[in-house]
Structure formats: structure tokens, C-alpha cells
Amino acid sequence: MSLARARSILSVDQWEDREAVMEVIKQTRGMVMDCALPTTKTPYKATGKILANLFYEPSTRTSSSFHAAMLKIGGHVIPINDVNYSSVSKGENLEDTIRTMGSYADVIVLRHPDVGAAQRAAKASYVPIINGGDGVGEHPSQAMLDLYTIYKEFDLRIDGLTVTMLGDLKHGRTVHSLSKLLRHFDVKINFVSPKSFAMPDEFVQPGDGVYTDLDEVIETTNVLYVTRVQWERIADGRPTSPDAVYKYRVTPEHMAKAPNKFRVLHPFPCVDEIDRSIDSDKRAAYFRQMRNGLYVRMALLESVF
């Protein structure tokens, strides 16, 4: 395996055990402390390096936070946030685009609609690839920031919690990656979705709870991880009966039933799936979660150099 490929971040599988995960969390905590200082004291390995942000799908948080993270650790960014303005629109294949960007940049963050695109890119690449989301596949940096958020919100502890994932678990790559990362900890996992949006079998393990109604588990849930319906991944568009989906909305009534130790997370964008009066509830952690993305991505970028 090439050195570039070895340093790539393609799937959460590469954090093989709890120690590997905790190491990233430790690096992230270091970045949080660095950001609190008036001047940067740490000599980052990324200083002077260039990140190419290559996005074949829309993004606000992933692209901006990787961009900001690279600037914070002393690097520079080539932003290609809309490949339609690149030679991709002229028919250039992924491998050629990757080799091109690797001629100018030291690391590439790739978001692509096809599962496995990051692996394909890493095979062709001279420089490390970070998977910024590959279709319904994985989103490892998001899962790491989700995990870090849980760790931070629950006083530096993950063991013993009950995590309930709600919404479109079939097409949501964030829940695929997060469910795998959580397996390194002693957590109870519940999946709540309409049957047609159920978590694929490969991510479900004996002992997990599988439900179609949030009311069945809200009283025992500590982390409610909410996802939107990934309409763009559903070939025939919106279902004829939207009720099937919109009953998966988190309401103030759910918040009232939740236990004391409770947080709501969401990778965003949030469309209809949370009653927005919940935003002002201290237990809504999704804006803090967004901010954590900056620190986690600083740590991940630094780790590839």
C-alpha cells in the first residue's frame, strides 16, 4: 500500500479499537485548547500544506469546516465546491481529477455520490484522501465529530449510554459510520425508522433495539441522533404518503418524556424532523456538535501529515 493510501481516512473501520478512537479524541482536545489560546503555539505539521476540497455533492458544514480547519492549522485550501465548474463537466473521470488535484495539493477531501468513491480515489492518488461522504456509504469525519460530541456532552464518558438513531437510517451515511464507531464502547443502540427506511442489516447487531415509533424508547434514551430523509438518494422522489415520514418529527412532548441525561444530536441540514422550538433547549446539542466539527477536522487533517 502506498504511503498516501496508508494515511488516507476512508472508513471508520480504520479506527480498529477503542484506543485508536480515543487517540483522535485526545488530539481533538488538544486542538480545542490550541484554539482557546490567543496565538498558536503548536508547530503544526500541516503548516504551509495545501488541501484540495473536492465536492461532487452539496455541502455546507463538511466543506467549510475542513476549509476552516486547514486554515487554523496553518495550511491553505483549493476549494472546488462545485465540480460543474471543473473539468468534471467536460467528462473527466474521477481518477484523472484526483491525480490532477494531487499534483497541486498535499491532501484531498472528497465528497462523491457513489459508494466506494473514496477507495477508488485513494487507489489513484499520490496524496492522502479523506472521505467527506461517499453516497449512502460512510462519513468517517462526521462520525468522529458525533462521537466526540457525545463524549463531551456526557462528561467525558460514552460507556453506559443508550443511543437512539431516528429517521432515514437506510440512506443516511452518518448513522452507518456512527453505529460502527459506537461498537467500540459499551452502549445500547436503538434504531427507530419507518420500515422502508430501516437500518441496513450489516449495521444491526444482536442486542440492538429496532422500532418504528420513538415513543417506545424516548424514556430510556440518552442520545437521540436525528437524521433527515435523504430525498436525493430516493430514485422515485418523495413518497406519495408523506405522513409515513413526518411522524418521525421530534416534538416538545418527546423532550418532556426524555430522561435528565439527554441530548439531541443532528448532523444537519435539519429540514422538518425537529420542532425548532427545541433549538433553545439546552439539551439540543446540534449547534455545539457543528462547532466540534472544526476541532475534529483539525485533528484529522494534522494526523495525515
Task: Name which position in 112, 120, 152, 173 contacts ligand NCD (CB under 6 A).
Answer: 173
Residues 121, 94 contacting (CB under 8 angstroms): yes
CB-nearer residue toward ligand NCD: 128 or 133: 133
Specify whether 61 is catalytic: yes
Determine if 139 is a binding residue for ligand NCD (CB under 6 A): yes
Determine if 228 is a binding residue for ligand NCD (CB under 6 A): yes
Residues 218, 258 contacting (CB under 8 angstroms): yes
d(CA 69, CA 299): 9
Determine if 267 is a binding residue for ligand NCD (CB under 6 A): yes
d(CA 164, CA 210): 10
* Catalytic residue selected from 5, 111, 112, 297: 111
d(CA 174, CA 187): 17
- CA trace torsion 251, 253, 256, 261 (10° rounding): -40
Task: Kindly state the helix (H) or strand (E) to which residue 192 belongs, with its residue range.
Answer: strand 188-192
Q: How far is the CB of 174 from ligand NCD (least distance, A)?
A: 5
Return the residue nearest ligand NCD (CB atom).
267
* Catalytic residue selected from 41, 90, 276, 282: 90
CB-nearer residue toward ligand NCD: 86 or 230: 230
Determine if 63 is a binding residue for ligand NCD (CB under 6 A): no
Specify whether 111 is catalytic: yes
Number of shown-chain residues binding ligand NCD (CB under 6 A)? 13
Residues 6+ apart with CB under 8 A from 210: 190, 191, 198, 199, 204
d(CA 264, CA 276): 12
d(CA 99, CA 80): 15
Q: How far is the CB of 229 from ligand NCD (least distance, A)?
A: 9
* Catalytic residue selected from 49, 72, 139, 297: 139
Applying CB under 6 A, the span of 84-92, 98-106, 263-271, 297-305 interacting with ligand NCD comes to: 263-271
d(CA 139, CA 176): 8
Neighbour-count burial of 62, counting CB atoms closer than 10 A to its CB (0-12 exposed, 13-18 middle, 19+ buried): buried
Residues 144, 106 contacting (CB under 8 angstroms): no
Task: Name which position in 11, 28, 53, 142 contacts ligand NCD (CB under 6 A).
Answer: 142
Applying CB under 6 A, the span of 12-20, 68-76, 88-96, 261-269 interacting with ligand NCD comes to: 261-269
Residue 93, C-alpha cell as written in the block: 473521470
Specify whether 62 is catalytic: yes
Q: How far is the CB of 233 from ligand NCD (least distance, A)?
A: 10
Which residues inside 95-134 make contact with ligand NCD, applying CB under 6 A? 133
Order the strands of the 50-55 sheet from edge to edge: 76-80, 50-55, 107-112, 129-134
Residues 179, 48 contacting (CB under 8 angstroms): no
Determine if 225 is a binding residue for ligand NCD (CB under 6 A): no
Determine if 61 is a binding residue for ligand NCD (CB under 6 A): yes
Which residues inside 191-220 make contact with ligand NCD, applying CB under 6 A? none
Determine if 268 is a binding residue for ligand NCD (CB under 6 A): yes
* Catalytic residue selected from 7, 18, 45, 61: 61
Residues designated catalytic: 61-62, 90, 111, 139
Residues that bind ligand NCD in the complex, under the rule CB under 6 A: 61-62, 133, 139, 142, 173-174, 227-228, 230, 267-269
